[in-house]
Amino acid sequence: MAALSLWWVGFPRALRLTALVRGWAAVGAGGILFLGPLAFHHAGLDSLQIGLTLGMSSALGLLARGLSGWWLDRGVAPPLPMALAAVLSITADLLLVLLLPLGLPVVLLGEGLIGVAMGLYWPAAELAAARSSEPLPTARGFALVRTADAVGIAVGAALGSGLATLASGDGLRLIYAVDLLMMLTVLGLLPQLRAAGAPMGPHAVLRPHRRWWRPLLPLLLLALLGTGIITLQQSALPLDMVRGGLARPPLPAAAGGGVLALQLGLLVLLQWPVGRWLARRPVGVGLRLSLVSFAAGCGLVALSALTGRGMWLLLPAMALLALGSAAFLPTITEAVVEAVAEDHRGLALGLYSQTWAVSGLLFPPLAGWTLRQLGHGLGLWSLLALLALAAIALTPAELRHP
């Protein structure tokens, strides 16, 4: 414990507070991410209504991400959009805890508020991590906050799974009570973050750089592919495992959940050491490592469909996908920060965070259609592996903003 304490206090106080804010927020999000659709199902919504509701939430998040980035570039300190996001989340949590049995109107309003809250939160949270890292390199700051994200999501998913086991039916809405408590904790930490002495305002006067966005274009394409692969690990991969492959027998739901839990646990273990190692290297190294890992992991998932012992290929595939995520998440954010000048980073991070919303809207329906048409995941995972390999050509050797 003493060594852990020394390691922790070695980071700037503002960065520690940013990591705590993101970790607590991730605990609340973890249960909602994995069990929110199940809670809606118990409230009487069918699969089409759930899908449309989540799509509406993602679309509102797209708009809010752009607004948050624009706002940040005009001098608003990151804790302010983060606080507004927490207030909106608390409002949504209260609605969904108290009124979820009323059905679709409450779900639409609650999910709409959550979508706007997430859109406001993410660009601000990423920019807070970049600015609170000083005097450390921002890459090391991103490694720490991404570790906090991973631990928080894992804890939140575990709490949500426990609630799903102990509470049936209407009791699932307690996941929103957990999120409410986490958001209250976040609101208590944000004033400390603002007062911690980090440069929370813009470092430079806003200047209209011509074509400042051009270095972002290949990075946004990489982000769209990487976030899409991560999104499909939470949606298409569980479905593929329980449906089975050409020769691989269907996995029981418990076994499929165990494989995914293994990947989540590996991500928690790998995020900090991988992120710290990559922080000392150019961003291109981390991006290439993530794409090779994604390609190898997706390739093994594809090959698992061809054998009756495919379960044994899924295990190393989960390790490779976890390594790819651990390398990708802090590195792509650092790449976006390096690619643009300080006075455009808010909007740049807003554009990057939109790739999560876009991939959430596009990839799962396309993957679901492919699985339904083919009856297995061989084509889907083979295509993703080839795309990841082809995307290596987009990785930069080095970045210099205009």
- Are both 11-194 and 216-394 of the same fold? yes
pLDDT attached to residue 243: 79
Which class in CATH covers the domain with range 11-194?
mainly alpha
Instruction: Please check the confidence at residue 337 and state whether its pLDDT lies above 70.
Output: yes
Structure confidence at residue 341 (pLDDT): 79
Q: Residue 244 pLDDT > 90, yes or no?
A: no
CA 307 to chain centre: 32
pTM: 0.83
**Residue 127, CB-side half-sphere exposure with 13 Å CA sphere:** 39
What pLDDT shows up at residue 202? 47
Assign 304 a pLDDT band (cuts: 50, 70, 90). very high
Per DSSP, 377 falls in state S
Q: What is the pLDDT of residue 254?
A: 57
pLDDT tens for residues 19-76? 999 999 999 998 887 778 778 877 888 767 877 787 788 889 888 988 998 898 888 9
Give the pLDDT confidence of 68-119 residue by residue, as tens digits: 988 988 889 999 999 999 999 999 999 999 988 888 899 999 999 999 999 9
- What local confidence, expressed as pLDDT, does residue 10 receive? 86
User: Are the C-beta atoms of 37 and 54 separated by less than 8 Å?
Assistant: yes
State pLDDT tens for residues 130-148: 889 888 888 889 999 999 9
CATH class of 216-394: mainly alpha
Please tell me the predicted confidence (pLDDT) of residue 396: 85
Average pLDDT, the chain: 86
How far is residue 54's CA from residue 58's CA, in Å, rounded to a whole number? 6
What pLDDT digit, counting tens, does each position of 155-207 carry?
988 887 777 677 666 677 888 999 999 999 999 999 998 887 555 554 444 45
Q: Which two tokens stand for residue 242?
A: 């329980």
Give the CB-side neighbour count of residue 295, counting CA atoms within 13 A: 13
pLDDT (mean) for 240-244: 80
Domain ranges of the chain: 11-194, 216-394
